[in-house]
Amino acid sequence: MRQIRFTVNGGRYEVEVRDNERLVDVLRNKLGFKSVKEGCGVGDCGLCIVLVGGRPVNSCLALASRMDGEEILTVEGLGSAEHLHPLQRSYIEVGASQCGYCIPAALLVTHSLLSRKSRPSADEVRLALRSVLCRCGSYLRFEEAVKVVSGDE
Partner 1 sequence: MNEEIGRRLREIEEIRDFFVVGKKVARVDALDAVLGKPVYTSDLITGRPLYVKAVRSTHPHAHIKSINISKALNMPLIHAVLTYRDIPGLNDAGSLIPDRPLLAYEKVRHIGEAIALVVGEELERVEEAADQVEVEYDPLPVVTSPREAMRPDAPRIQDRDNVVTHFKIRKGDVEQGFRQSHLILERTYRTQHIDGLPLEIEVAYSFWGSDNILTCISTMQNPFDVYNKVAQILGMPKERLRVIQAATGGGFGPKSDETPIDVAAYACLATLKTGRPAVSAFTRGEAMTVQCKRHPFEITHRVGVSRDGRLQAWKSTLIEDTGAYISKGHLVIGRATFHCTGPYEVPNVWADGYCVLTNNTMAGSTRGFGAPQSHFAAEMMMDELAAELGMSPAEIRRRNILRVGGLTATSQKIEDPGLEICFERALQITGFERRYAELKSRKDWPIRRGIGLALLYHGNTLGPEGDDFASVATWVNQDGTVTVQTGLTEFGTGAITSLIIVTAETLGIQPDRIKLERPDTLAIPNSGPTVASRTTPIGGRAALDAAVKIRQMVAAVVSEILGVGAENLVFRESKIYPRDMPSKSISWKEAVEACHKLGLELKASGYYIAPPTKWDPETGQGSPYNQYTFGALVSEVSVDMETGVVKVDKMTAVYDVGRAINPLGLVSTYESGSIMGLGYALLEEIIHEDGRLLNPNLHTYIIPTTVEAPSKIESVIVESPGPMGVYGAKAMGEIPVVLPAASIANAVANATGVFIRRLPLRPDRVLSEIGNLKY
CA angle 119, 124, 127 (to 5 degrees): 150
Q: For residue 55, give the nearest of 119, 138, 131, 144 by alpha carbon.
A: 131
Q: Which amino acid is at 102?
A: C
Q: Could you say which of 39, 63, 147, 148 contacts partner 1 (CB under 8 A)?
A: 39
Nearer to partner 1, 69 or 139 (CB): 139
Rule CB under 8 A: say whether 93 interacts with partner 1.
yes
DSSP-derived letter for residue 38 is: -
CA atoms of 131 and 111, how far apart (whole Å): 14
Rule CB under 8 A: say whether 80 interacts with partner 1.
yes
Q: Could you say which of 22, 24, 35, 64 contacts partner 1 (CB under 8 A)?
A: 35
**Chain residues that interact with partner 1, rule: CB under 8 A:** 33-37, 39-42, 44-45, 47, 74-76, 79-81, 84, 88, 91-93, 95-104, 107, 122, 125-127, 129-130, 132-143
